[in-house]
Amino acid sequence: MADARRLIAALLALAIGLPAIAADAPAASAASAPATVKFEAPAAHLTAADPALEARMLAITGELRCLVCQNQTIADSHADLAVDLRQEVRELLQKGRTPDQIRQYMTARYGDFVLYRPPLKASTAALWLGPAVLLTVALAALVAVIRRRARLADDAFEPEPMLPDADEAVDAPVRPGNPA
């Protein structure tokens, strides 16, 4: 019985891609408690042999937008395109390209959309100025409404409905369609 459990655990580990399995308890008889199986996580593999190169690649890809996810950086995304672009940035760094040259290369290939901080030019002016314009319009509308309401007399507003007293509510007849 214990051998069958070990075999099932080993097959399960192989199916999900775990590299090693170790049994915590020694082989037990069928009457004893089942053996617990300890799974070891796979070791992380360095993508680049040079940690400095990897850090530079992450710094650059942290400024570039994933074209698939569109709300993540290339460094954070797990999309296939992002993985390919990270590898391309690594290769460009290994060839001696500077971060500015890599950004220019990506912008030439994918447009200003790939940059999280696009440059201020005619085509991106709405991105930079739009939020400020909308905030200014909203604040101006709020000030206008407050000033208009301040000029109105008290009788221009609807009075609050008077709630009936508790005695009147008990004596009131119940009509069909009205709540009791």
CATH number listed for the domain at residues 51-114: 1.10.8.640
With b meaning 16 or more CB within 10 Å and e meaning fewer, what string describes 51-88?
Answer: eeebebbbebbebbbbbeeeeebbbebeeeebeebbeb
pLDDT digits (tens, 9 = 90+) for 71-81: 889 998 889 99
| Span(s) in the chain for CATH 1.10.8.640 | 51-114
Name the burial class of residue 147, with classes exposed (0-12), middle (13-18) and buried (19+) by CB atoms within 10 angstroms of its CB: exposed
pLDDT digits (tens, 9 = 90+) for 2-12: 666 666 666 55
pLDDT digits (tens, 9 = 90+) for 49-96: 778 888 999 999 999 998 888 788 999 888 999 999 999 999 999 999
Round the average pLDDT of the chain to a whole number and report it: 76
* pTM of the shown model: 0.47
pLDDT digits (tens, 9 = 90+) for 86-129: 999 999 999 999 999 999 999 999 888 888 888 888 877 887 88
